[in-house]
Amino acid sequence: MIRVLVSSAPIDLAAELERLEVGGAVATFTGLVRADKVAGRGDVAVLELEHYPGATEAALTRLLDQAVTRWALTAASVVHRVGAMRPGERIVFVGTASAHRAAALEACAYLIDRLKTDAPFWKRETVAGEARWVEARDSDDAAAARWGA
């Protein structure tokens, strides 16, 4: 079972986990909107995510297909929020299931590393009443690169 969902609705962790519990091992990652201070500007009040409908889902589906093939997964899921979110809200859920834990854990790490660079999302942070687009990070590129092409 492959599941890709891009939505403005809150992520229901219990429902997502239940979809993956098909036997063997399940690995998950849940990302939260950080309340980081932005250098010289203050705390992030709102994070807005925009995407390119259709293209985003297609990119996520390609990543899931690659993971399923590479690690012989029995199930995999990516749920990503879009729209305005506040610190502490869930922004992304990645889950993988396999007959063995190593495959589930590696595939989960692969998916979160690759979606940061391979899925068309754009982030805008509002700090002290001023909104700014968030630039891509070299550390995200390095994390994705460790998995090869």
pLDDT of 54 above 70:
yes
Instruction: Please report whether residue 147 resides in a domain.
Output: no
**Lowest-pLDDT range, 2-11, 113-122, 128-137?**
128-137
Going by C-alpha positions, the residue among 82, 76, 43, 84 that lies closest to residue 60 is 76
Contact 57, 6 (CB under 8 A): yes
Instruction: Please report whether residue 68 resides in a domain.
Output: yes
pLDDT tens-digit series, residues 65-105:
999 999 999 999 999 999 999 999 999 999 999 999 999 99
Instruction: Please report whether residue 64 resides in a domain.
Output: yes
For residue 27, the one-letter residue type is A
Phi-psi region of 99 (alpha: psi -120 to 50; beta: other; left: phi over 0): alpha
Return the percentage of the chain with pLDDT > 90, whole number. Answer: 71
Q: 87: which residues sit within 8 A by CB, 6+ positions away? A: 32, 33, 34, 35, 43, 44, 45, 47
Q: Tell me the average pLDDT of the chain.
A: 92
Domains: count for the chain: 1
Q: Could you give the CA distance from residue 139 to residue 23 in angstroms, rounded to a whole number?
A: 34
| Domain boundaries, position 127 | 2-142
Per-residue model confidence (pLDDT) at position 35: 76
56 — pLDDT class (breaks 50, 70, 90)? very high
**Lowest-pLDDT range, 7-11, 51-55, 128-132?**
128-132
pLDDT of 22 above 80:
yes
Return the percentage of the chain with pLDDT > 70, whole number. Answer: 96
Instruction: Please report whether residue 149 resides in a domain.
Output: no
pLDDT tens-digit series, residues 124-146:
998 888 898 988 888 888 888 88
Per-residue model confidence (pLDDT) at position 143: 85
**CATH code, domain carrying 83:** 3.90.1170.40
Instruction: Please report whether residue 148 resides in a domain.
Output: no
Instruction: Please report whether residue 73 resides in a domain.
Output: yes
40 — pLDDT class (breaks 50, 70, 90)? low
Instruction: Please report whether residue 124 resides in a domain.
Output: yes
Per-residue model confidence (pLDDT) at position 37: 64
